Amino acid sequence: MTTEDSESVAGPKDRIETLEEGLKEKAAHPLELFFDLVFVFAITQVVSLVVHDLTLAGILRGALLLALMWWAWTNWTWTTNVVDLEPRIIRVAVLTSMLGVFGMAFAVPTAFEGDGDWLAFGYVLVRIVAAAVFVLGTRDDPEELKAVVTYLPISLAATAIVLVGGLVGGDALQWIWLAALSVEVIATVSAGQVDWKVDAAHFAERHGLILIIALGEGIIAVGIAVEGVRIDTSLALLLAVGLAGVGAMWWSYFDRLQEVMETALRLADARETGHIARDVYSLLHYPMIAGIVFYAVALEEAFLHPDDPMENVVAVLLVAAIGLYLLAQAAAAWRCWRTYLYERVIGVMAIALLVAIWGGAAKNVVLVSTVILIATLTAEYIRFRARIRGEVPDPDTTAA
């Protein structure tokens, strides 16, 4: 597939007609949406942790805790993608798992100050219940059960390491949990040796929904930063800038990229399906979520003192946040179709240069970075406009 052909996937795609006629695709269950509510609180807790410890160490700890939360969420998403949630015993299991996530979230602020064991207990509960449901729900499908059994032993070993870290605590805690996450990644890579069945529509929808939840933190952060400020024209402009930035990040994912990723997952064969789901969704969506969370922190800090020069740590966090988000998206597009979204790379570089050489007021730095972000997405649209409008016929994407 040529680069020119591969660029066609940037336009919106119709539903794949080659699917079996009458196939009913799975949609997100109300229980899954309810389950996500505890992650709203968990993400809020991570944002609060970083805000109150705005140092490199604090940021890295926040990223580590967010990774644990993410791994708990993504494992449940793989589970609910193939397991029927209608049986009441399964619903009870999901609700029980929510208790574990809630406990993890409550322990976030003091996880590195003696309460790491409570966070670990919650993580273990989430993972063990999800593993049990995964096995129970696939027991009548030998092929899928084989994939699950290949993945679970190494993954549960990582869960045990998380528990050990929580019990040990102290300065070693962060390193033990980092090791646990490394083992989780190894488990995920090993799972790629077998075939997985993935409902593309459900998988894409679930990841889009959790991304929206994370984006909501950006809006909340702006609201918190200006809470109690008298409503006037200056405040209205500040709110507009904050919403424009979050809106541009929403646009960068949902305008075309979400459908591009779903289409790739839908067209993949049995082996490649698991690889794309793993690489694009389980792995590359974490830096997207982290980017949104750190962007929320940067917005909150910038808008607390909008007329003062932006602090160095906030400036670095702003660039890192936008970089994580856009570059992970560019990597996802390349992984799916070998399409180069180089405008996003250039946009990140331009924002980094701006922050490095300009010591303007915080609100102005956010404004200009938002303008660059919007210009980046506009330039990308112009490059793909012919495909998006259907003026150029789509090539045979099965050659990808």
Q: What is the pLDDT of residue 24?
A: 60
Tell me the H-state helices in the chain: 3-6, 30-52, 56-82, 88-107, 116-138, 142-168, 173-191, 200-225, 233-254, 257-267, 270-276, 285-304, 312-337, 342-357, 362-388
The Cα–Cα gap between 193 and 87 comes to 31
Q: pTM (2 decimals)?
A: 0.89
Q: What is the pLDDT of residue 148?
A: 87
Tokens for 104, please give them: 């993890």
Q: Give the tens place of pLDDT for each residue, 235-280.
A: 888 889 999 999 999 999 999 899 999 999 999 987 789 899 999 9
Q: Mean pLDDT, to the nearest integer, of 297-311?
A: 91
Residue 277 per-residue DSSP state: I
Helix (H, G, I), strand (E, B) or coil at 340: coil
Q: What is the pLDDT of residue 91?
A: 94
What average pLDDT is seen over the chain?
A: 88
pLDDT above 70 covers what percent of the chain? Answer: 90
Q: Give the tens place of pLDDT for each residue, 311-335.
A: 999 999 999 999 999 999 999 999 9
Tell me the residue type at 340: Y
User: Residues 373, 248: contact at Cβ < 8 Å?
Assistant: yes
Q: Give the tens place of pLDDT for each residue, 2-16.
A: 444 444 444 444 444
> What are the residue boundaries of the structural domains of the chain, listed by start?
1-18+232-400, 27-198
